[in-house]
């Protein structure tokens, strides 16, 4: 038994219904001669008037009615596999690709953000440590002169021959170098740091001292260990 579909409006199909049901709906004014209909075996939708003989409506087809007004193109016949169900909505290929790309990109962005949060502070600490090499090198340059004075039995100061006033040692990252004896009895230099752009280092001091008992040089500072080179930590 033939199963018919008819178009009730743009994008809306009604069916399946039998031949008798379709003819009855025509007689009751629910479908018309210009209504587009389709059944399995037809290659495309046709107006009801062209199938009137098959539906037993020959007399109705011969009546003179004006042709249907132009409108939206009628939808194609339903797929055979889904003849009894409305056609499913489908996501466009572009939308699917967009969703897949977002699913791949969002985790990558999150990972990059985490790595940046870790790497940027570490890089800042690294550049800060690099700026301390100049003050340390300036203090180290005075070690031979201090050792000679210690060998002569005295700890020098800035007024000792061969040394300069504190401010005379100033440079880009050195505010000045104070030479003399520390409170613990060791002899060395206090190098004041400046111009690094890091408040945790600028206006702080690095102390380079000579330990007479071990006869070795040491280094310490009031700057945080993580910002100091290894030899000045602790």
For the chain, domain boundaries: 4-82, 132-232
For residue range 151-196, what is the model confidence (pLDDT) as tens digits? Answer: 999 999 999 999 999 999 999 999 999 999 999 889 999 999 999 9
Q: Please give the DSSP secondary-structure letter assigned to residue 211.
A: E
- Give pTM, 2 decimals: 0.48
pLDDT at residue 44, rounded to an integer: 92
Per CATH, the number for 132-232 is 3.30.700.10
Whole-angstrom distance, CA of residue 18 vs CA of residue 21: 5
Whole-angstrom distance, CA of residue 156 vs CA of residue 71: 106
Using DSSP's 3-state secondary structure scheme, residue 94 falls into: helix
Least confident stretch, 10-24, 174-188, 190-204: 10-24
Whole-angstrom distance, CA of residue 77 vs CA of residue 16: 12
């Amino acid at each position: 038994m033939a199963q018919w579909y008819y178009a009730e409006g743009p994008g809306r199909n009604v069916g399946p219904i039998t031949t008798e049901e379709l003819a009855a709906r025509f007689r009751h004014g629910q479908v018309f001669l210009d209504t587009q209909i389709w059944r399995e075996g037809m290659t495309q939708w046709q107006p009801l008037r062209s199938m009137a003989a098959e539906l037993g409506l020959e007399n109705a087809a011969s009546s003179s009615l004006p042709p249907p007004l132009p409108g939206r193109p009628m939808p194609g016949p339903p797929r055979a596999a889904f003849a009894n169900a409305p056609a499913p909505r489908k996501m466009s290929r572009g939308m699917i690709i967009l969703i897949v790309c977002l699913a791949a990109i969002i985790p990558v962005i999150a990972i990059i953000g985490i790595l940046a949060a870790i790497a940027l502070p570490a890089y800042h600490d690294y550049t800060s440590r690099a700026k301390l090499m100049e003050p340390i090198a300036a203090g180290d340059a005075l070690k031979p002169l201090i050792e000679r004075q210690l060998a002569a039995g005295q700890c020098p100061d800035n007024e000792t021959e061969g040394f300069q006033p504190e401010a005379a040692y100033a440079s880009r990252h050195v505010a000045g170098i104070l030479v003399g004896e520390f409170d613990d009895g060791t002899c060395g230099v206090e190098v004041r740091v400046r111009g690094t752009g890091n408040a945790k280092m600028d206006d702080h001091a690095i102390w380079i001292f000579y330990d007479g008992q071990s006869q070795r040089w040491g280094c310490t500072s009031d700057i945080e260990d993580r910002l100091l080179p290894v030899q000045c930590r602790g």
